[in-house]
Amino acid sequence: MAKQSRKVEGQYVRKETFWLVTLLALSVGFFGGVMFGVFKTDTVDMPGRPAPAPTTATDPNNAGMIAALEKETRSNPGNLDAWISLGNAYFDSNQYEKSIGAYRQALEINPNNANVWTDMGVMYRRNGNPQEAIKAFEKAMETDPKHEVSRMNKGIVLLHDLQDADGAIEAWEELLEINPVAMAPTGRSVDEMVQQMKKQKSQ
């Protein structure tokens, strides 16, 4: 973002031109290298959604855009798109608590946006609150039962933050019921990950 204003109706998973959350695709980690970071819903290609432009070197923290969006939300507190864009801008500049606050304002206007729930969950996780992250991901799934990113992220947080391997397997098996060829952000098949985890648990 001086990136374009982004829409958040999409719900599918494929890597776009840049990551808003750093993905850790490590070759080592719990259960044989399944560790990676949770990821944001608009780091994926969606039909009709323009790819966000990279942040410019002159405004690396989106300060100008944030100031404009803060002014807009003060003047027009019912502007849903402005609150979402502000949450995204805070997200991009790693201002976790402010991002959560902006997303909460957006959800008060429209509580049925699974992407906003998911992105807020990412911020909770990065702010050191994995339990609230799980609640947000579950709210996204309740809002949209076919939402894939929230299920992927729920498994990641269960596995790496809460050491709940069984819960992670369950979350990812539910994802596979929706999309049998779902891929993790590492490029690995979710089905392959689940089978490896089950195998290692049985040893």
Question: What pLDDT, in 10s, does the model give residues 96-153?
Answer: 999 999 999 999 999 999 999 999 999 999 999 999 999 999 999 999 999 999 999 9
Quick check: 5 pLDDT over 90?
Answer: no
Calculate mean pLDDT across residues 54-74.
78
pTM: 0.75
Sequence ranges of the domains in the chain? 30-202
In whole angstroms, what is the distance from residue 104 CA to residue 113 CA?
11
What is the Cβ-side half-sphere exposure of residue 135, based on CA atoms within 13 angstroms? 5
How many angstroms separate the most distant Cα atoms in the chain?
A: 60
Helices and strands, number each (H, E), in the chain = 9, 0
Calculate mean pLDDT across residues 35-49.
48
- For CA atoms 176, 182, 187, 189, the dihedral sign is positive
- State residue 202's pLDDT score: 82
What is the Cβ-side half-sphere exposure of residue 41, based on CA atoms within 13 angstroms? 28
- For CA atoms 175, 181, 183, 189, the dihedral sign is positive
| % of the chain at pLDDT higher than 70 | 70
| Options 3.90.79.10, 2.60.120.560, 1.25.40.10, 1.10.3720.10; CATH of 30-202 | 1.25.40.10
- What is the amino acid identity at position 21? V
